[in-house]
């Protein structure tokens, strides 16, 4: 198992390197650089002024040199005034030194946000924290409800209960977040008036049950159906196994058979699906957070993309890749522990 984990960590590092190189190339395409320069200067700036700004701030350096600076393996250079020869930091609002230095991902420096005028870490990690709280409550609601629905449907295959729960699961899965979010907002906020204030206040005035309900409901209702269907299919398969029949013939009650024998084996497939919900939650919150003005990771990602905030966009991409690869590793390790046959092999 240790060797497997070490190999996967090596693959993760190589995958992150390749993906960040691709993202770095895409966000540094010429149209994006021109839009960045315009956003930092003025719409009426001439082409010479835009080019001068890009040159001054190091955006015209060799592509691989800039990528190495972002990684932290190549020194970053300060701005040099061509007339006086005086060195000055590229972005004074981020307290960058006015001298060559190593500052990149390997040093824990995510760069400077040109949109928010702060170091990327000061904007990215609070947003991740806010989204982490949202994801936690979504999982608290989604996983137990989905497993309960799937187990009940699988235990009663072919009955009215099974058909009702299966239809409800398919309906929730087929409804996108932006549709269910609008429906919930109309019903609970507009018609019933239950929710005072909007989710936009969640990160400003403290998270409460009321201003947090709609985003959690919107995301949980979508994931419940998918996990429930996988759990039901797995439960149906397990309930037809020979060892279940043997346990019933030995006189064990139906509940004891389900809890002691069927449930653990039935949870192997749903466990993988549940772990894969974390990458979906991190990227799927984009729609929900923008819809409800919840200022978390998804909202920050949209702001970075809309304003060509290169360093912040790269930081968001790095976090997304890390979460996806990490959850896949945890899923594989957990699957091996839940299924003894995988561990023996």
Domain ranges of the chain: 16-110, 121-338
Q: What is the DSSP annotation of 70-121?
A: HHTSS-B--EE-TTT--EE-S-GGGT--SS-B--SGGGT---EETTTTEEHH
Q: Are 325 and 16 in contact (CB under 8 A)?
A: yes
Smallest Cα–Cα separation from 106: which of 75, 78, 127? 75
Least confident of 59-68, 147-156, 191-200: 191-200
The string of pLDDT tens digits covering residues 84-116 is: 667 777 777 787 777 888 888 888 888 888 888
CA distances from 56 to 18, 31, 59, 81, 135 (A): 28, 18, 8, 8, 41
Positive/negative CA dihedral, 264, 268, 270, 271: positive
Residue whose pair of structure tokens reads 């009215």 in the numeric block: 160
Residue whose pair of structure tokens reads 């974390």 in the numeric block: 278
Token pair, residue 147, equals 């497993």
Give CA–CA dist 224/238, Å, rounded. Answer: 21
Give the end-to-end CA distance of the chain in Å, rounded to a whole number: 11
The string of pLDDT tens digits covering residues 233-264 is: 887 877 777 777 777 777 767 666 776 666 76
Positive/negative CA dihedral, 179, 135, 154, 342: positive
pTM (2 d.p.): 0.77
CA distances from 89 to 68, 79, 80, 246 (A): 19, 6, 9, 75
The string of pLDDT tens digits covering residues 269-325 is: 777 778 777 777 777 678 888 888 788 888 888 888 888 888 899 999 888 888 888
Q: Which residue has the higher pLDDT, 32 or 190?
A: 32
* CATH code of domain 121-338: 1.10.3720.10
Question: What's the confidence (pLDDT) of residue 183?
Answer: 85
Sequence-distant (≥ 6) Cβ neighbours of residue 106 within 8 angstroms: 71, 72, 73
The string of pLDDT tens digits covering residues 303-315 is: 888 888 888 999 9
Give CA–CA dist 4/44, Å, rounded. Answer: 57
Question: What's the confidence (pLDDT) of residue 344?
Answer: 43
């Amino acid at each position: 198992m240790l060797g497997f984990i070490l190999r996967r960590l090596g693959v993760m590092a190589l995958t992150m390197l390749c993906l960040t190189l691709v993202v770095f190339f895409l966000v540094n395409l010429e149209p994006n650089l021109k839009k960045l320069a315009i956003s930092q200067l003025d719409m009426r700036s001439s082409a010479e002024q835009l080019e001068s700004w890009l040159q001054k701030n190091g955006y015209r350096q060799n592509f691989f040199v800039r990528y190495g600076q972002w990684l932290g393996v190549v020194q970053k250079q300060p701005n040099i005034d061509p007339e006086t020869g005086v060195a000055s930091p590229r972005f004074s609002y981020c307290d960058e030194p006015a001298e060559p230095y190593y500052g990149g991902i390997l040093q824990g420096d995510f760069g400077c946000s040109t949109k928010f005028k702060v170091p990327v870490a000061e904007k990215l990690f609070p947003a991740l924290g806010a989204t982490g709280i949202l994801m936690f409550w979504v999982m608290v609601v989604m996983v137990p409800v989905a497993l309960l629905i799937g187990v009940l449907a699988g235990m009663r295959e072919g009955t009215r209960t099974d058909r009702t729960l299966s239809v409800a699961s398919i309906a929730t899965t087929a409804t996108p977040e932006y549709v269910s979010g609008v429906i919930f907002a109309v019903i609970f906020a507009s018609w019933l008036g239950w929710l005072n204030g909007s989710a936009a206040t969640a990160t400003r005035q403290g998270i409460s049950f009321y201003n947090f309900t709609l985003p959690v409901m919107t995301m949980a209702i979508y994931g419940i159906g998918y996990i429930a269907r996988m759990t039901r299919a797995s439960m149906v398969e397990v309930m037809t196994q020979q060892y279940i029949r043997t346990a019933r013939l030995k006189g064990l009650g139906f509940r004891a058979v389900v809890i002691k024998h069927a449930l653990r084996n039935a949870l192997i497939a749903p466990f993988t699906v549940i772990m894969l919900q974390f990458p979906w939650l991190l990227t799927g919150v984009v729609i929900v957070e923008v819809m409800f003005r919840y200022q978390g990771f998804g909202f920050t990602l949209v702001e970075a993309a809309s304003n060509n905030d290169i360093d912040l966009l790269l930081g968001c991409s790095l976090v997304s890749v890390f979460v996806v690869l990490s959850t896949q590793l945890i899923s594989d390790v957990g699957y091996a522990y839940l299924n003894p046959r995988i561990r023996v092999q």
